[in-house]
Amino acid sequence: MTNSNLPASVADDKRIMLIVNPISGTGNKKDVPEVVERTLAAEGYSTDVRFTGGRGDATMFASEASDKGYYGVLACGGDGTVNETARALCGSQTALGILPAGSGNGLARHLGIPMDVELAMEIVCQRNVVPSDYGSVNGVPFFCTFGMGFDAAVSHRFARQNHRGLLSYVRSALSEYVQFRPTTYTISANGKLLTEKAFLVAVCNASQWGNNAYIAPEASLTDGLLDITVVHSGSPIDAAVMGMDIFTGFISKNTMVHCFRAPAAVIYRSEKGEAHVDGEPMMLDEILDVKCHRGALRLFTPLDRDRFRPIVTPIKEMLRDARLSLNHIFR
């Protein structure tokens, strides 16, 4: 079935590029090209396979595909690989598909794409391409989340670890929590000025950081707005409650949290410092110009996606992950 929104020149093109990051996440990706090529061949598509060898490769490959008018580009990796691929496709007619194979897979999880290559390919084969938003901070694109404060500090610590995966991330978070100190931020948005001492500030295009940690449960990729979550500091007990609220989807109800939406914002802090863009650590200036770019990225998305419900959706996602893990063990 072809999405009626697709221009004829795009819908008729039968070339799809697969970009694989061989070192993302923890799984082996040696079988991915064969699965993708077999699946796409059955649908009448040819596959151009590329492997990344360093930072920027995915952007270079995706730019080539866009320039040549490929129907789609599939990014097999984590949110960093997705970011590099997507930034080359913004404003083009070439659609982005995600084959999640990273540590967090925040954007894929937001979209409801299964953590399994064969099942994720079923989404691509549905050919449901939706114009979706992305955000930028000082001109740097993000497709899932941009953050400052505690989550940025954790991203920087996690990047220095020898091992990837959820357990390594949790260890990084616990180590950082012991020494972290909150920062004062001033946020200009929606014609108002807000100054707060915060544990973290997350600017979200999608609903979660990854691993079903919902920092903005109601975020949408198609509303032209960014969800901004300001988390204040508190006691260790407050932090434990916050953690539970993040994983159950109740964070917006927490009294330590201030949530709002805006199409753009300017965030001020006292000095240049740590930040993360889609989980990738970087240093950014003291003045941060954040914008939402509405409908600028074409995304392969599931035809059916249930509305987020606190507790219910997280439990469903957890059970789906467990089922897929068992299937991989006994396959």
Give the mean pLDDT per block of 10 residues along the chain (331 residues): 41 85 84 97 97 97 97 96 98 97 93 95 97 98 97 87 74 85 96 96 97 96 98 92 96 96 97 95 97 98 92 93 83 66
CATH number at residue 315: 3.40.50.10330
Residues 310 and 279 in one domain: no
Q: Is residue 64 part of a domain?
A: yes
Q: CA separation (Å) from 232 to 124, 150, 216?
A: 40, 11, 15
- Flag whether 31 is in a domain: yes
Domain count, the chain: 2
Residues 147 and 46 occupy one common structural domain: no
Q: Quick one: how far is CA 129 from the chain centroid?
A: 17
Rg (CA), the chain: 19
**Domain assignment of residue 214, yes or no:** yes
Hey, what amino acid is at 26? T
Tell me what pLDDT residue 1 has. Answer: 36
* Domain shared by 276 and 309, yes or no: no
- Do 162 and 185 belong together in one domain? yes
**Same domain for 322 and 279:** no
Does 288 share its domain with 306? no
Task: Tell me if 1 is assigned to some domain.
Answer: no
Is residue 112 assigned to a domain? yes
Q: Which two three-digit tokens encode residue 1?
A: 């079935």
User: What pLDDT score was predicted for residue 311?
Assistant: 95
What are the tokens at 24? 């993302």
User: Angle at CA 14, nearest 5°, toward 9 and 18?
Assistant: 120
- Judge if 49 and 130 occupy the same domain: yes
Residue 155 and residue 186 in one domain: yes
Q: Are residue 304 and residue 260 in the same domain, yes or no?
A: no
Give pairs for 61-64: CB < 8 Å, separation 24+.
Answer: 61/17, 61/19, 61/85, 62/17, 62/19, 62/86, 62/87, 62/88, 62/89, 62/94, 63/88, 64/17
The enclosing domain of 236 has a CATH number of 2.60.200.40
Q: Does 112 share its domain with 237?
A: no
What one-character-per-residue DSSP string does 235-247 give? -HHHHHHHHHHHH
260 beta partners: 228
Distances (CA, A) of 328 to 27, 148, 210: 11, 36, 20
Amino acid 9: pLDDT: 43
- Judge whether 269 lies within some domain: yes
Q: How far apart are CA 73 and CA 69, in angstroms?
A: 10
pLDDT at position 331 is: 66
User: What is the structure's pLDDT at 10?
Assistant: 45
Whether residue 3 lies inside any domain: the answer is no
pLDDT at 245: 97
Considering the domain architecture, whether residues 115 and 177 belong to the same structural domain is answered as: no
Find out whether 285 and 272 touch, Cβ atoms under 8 Å.
yes
Q: Is 234 found in the same domain as 193? A: yes
Q: Counting runs of H as helices and runs of E as strands, what totals does the chain give?
A: 10, 18
Domain assignment of residue 326, yes or no = yes
Cα–Cα distance measured from residue 100 to residue 231, given in angstroms and rounded to the nearest whole number: 28
On whether the CB atoms of residues 290 and 266 are closer than 8 A, the answer is yes
Separation between Cα atoms, residue 293 and residue 286, nearest integer Å: 22
Range of the domain at 246: 140-292
